[in-house]
């Protein structure tokens, strides 16, 4: 397993991370424990969860129990801001809400601190200065080590950076955004902003909800129980002819080099210098093993460029 700095910080994380959104939803406590143990034994250190996963806290609770006795071997990242109940007081990035939210997450995870605490979505109703000031206080109290954003645009990353610098506050060190060979939109503004300010990018859905595993077939309905099958009519965009064309060309590229499409999806992202860790979910220990090994293919500069051309959108 390769390890990298989390953005411009000194914290090391595994280049492959585990997304914990399936814990409590598709994985019971026993399965969660087996996934976590397999991940740690495979060299994975980063576990990414959120208070809203599970749903409503169950992912954090399951992860906390699974990590008993192994907390010091891991880096725990969680998120706040998504709805945790009815009404405006049960969501967002206001100091009142996030201070309560972190205490609840720490309790569910059965830990004294979070290595990375991320704002799940931008909150237009709360000034970013208020949010950063509250997060800064959590770092000073030792409850949080680093902070990050998720689903921010390029200008929002720049605005938060300027606000933190001008207010002498701790700054965001990571950005977690949707990013895969089938969705490269963040390259337009988010990637340049992160490179300029030293944020590490944590891609989520790197396998494009299974499209980059070969799970889906052109002209056929998604397999029962798959993510895109659960999406219903919303899956039509992902299952487009253009996406299938890209998948087929990427598959051919990988197979010519005796690799799988899964390995290409991970390794291409891992080859990018601004990526800190590739976040992917798992519902079994076997998936963990496959994901952990997938990023070991070291693409040459020429191969990186060829893949970028195939997936150009």
Integer Cα distance of 208 and 74 in angstroms? 26
Distances (CA, A) of 278 to 87, 123, 200: 34, 25, 11
Catalogue the E-assigned strands of the chain.
3-5, 12-14, 16-19, 46-48, 75-80, 114-119, 144-150, 172-178, 200-204, 278-281
Q: What angle do CA 88, 139, 190 make, to 5 degrees?
A: 70
For residue 150, the cross-strand partners are 176
Task: Report the alpha-carbon distance of residue 288 to residue 293 in Å, rounded.
Answer: 9
d(CA 8, CA 276): 10
- Write down the catalytic residue from 3, 53, 117, 274: 53
Cβ(145)–Cβ(116) under 8 Å? yes
Separation of alpha carbons 14 and 17, rounded Å = 6
Burial of 176 (0-12, 13-18, 19+ CB in 10 A): buried
CA distance 40 to 74: 8
Give catalytic status of residue 53 as yes or no.
yes
DSSP assignment letter at 209: G
Which residue intervals of 51-127 are DSSP H helices? Answer: 53-56, 58-66, 95-109
Chain centroid to Cα 204, Å, comes to 4
Catalytic center residues:
53
């Amino acid at each position: 397993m390769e390890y990298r700095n989390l953005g411009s910080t000194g914290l090391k994380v595994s280049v492959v991370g585990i997304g914990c959104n399936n814990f409590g939803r598709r994985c019971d406590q026993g399965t969660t424990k087996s996934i976590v143990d397999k991940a740690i034994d495979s060299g994975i250190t980063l576990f990414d969860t959120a208070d809203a996963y599970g749903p409503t806290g169950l992912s954090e609770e399951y992860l906390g129990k699974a990590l008993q006795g192994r907390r010091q071997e891991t880096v725990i990242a969680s998120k706040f801001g998504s709805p945790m109940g009815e009404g405006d007081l049960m969501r967002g990035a206001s100091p009142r809400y996030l201070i309560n939210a972190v205490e609840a997450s720490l309790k569910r995870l059965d830990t004294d601190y979070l290595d990375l605490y991320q704002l799940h979505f931008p909150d237009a109703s709360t000034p970013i200065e208020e949010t950063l000031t509250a997060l800064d206080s959590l770092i000073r109290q030792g409850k949080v080590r680093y902070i990050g954003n998720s689903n921010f645009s390029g200008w929002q990353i720049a605005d938060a950076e300027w606000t933190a610098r001008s207010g002498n506050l701790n700054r965001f060190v990571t950005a977690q955004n949707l990013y895969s060979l089938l969705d490269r939109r963040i390259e337009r503004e988010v990637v340049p902003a992160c490179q300029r300010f030293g944020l590490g990018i944590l891609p989520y859905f790197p396998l494009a909800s299974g499209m980059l595993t070969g799970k889906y077939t052109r002209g056929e309905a998604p397999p029962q129980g798959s993510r895109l099958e659960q999406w219903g009519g919303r899956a039509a965009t992902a299952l487009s002819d253009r996406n299938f064309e890209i998948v087929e060309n990427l598959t051919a590229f990988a197979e010519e080099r005796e690799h799988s499409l899964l390995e290409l999806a991970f390794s291409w992202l891992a080859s990018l210098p601004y990526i800190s860790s590739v976040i992917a979910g798992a519902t079994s220990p076997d998936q963990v093993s496959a994901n952990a090994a997938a990023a070991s293919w070291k693409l040459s500069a020429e191969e990186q460029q060829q893949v970028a051309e195939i997936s150009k959108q």
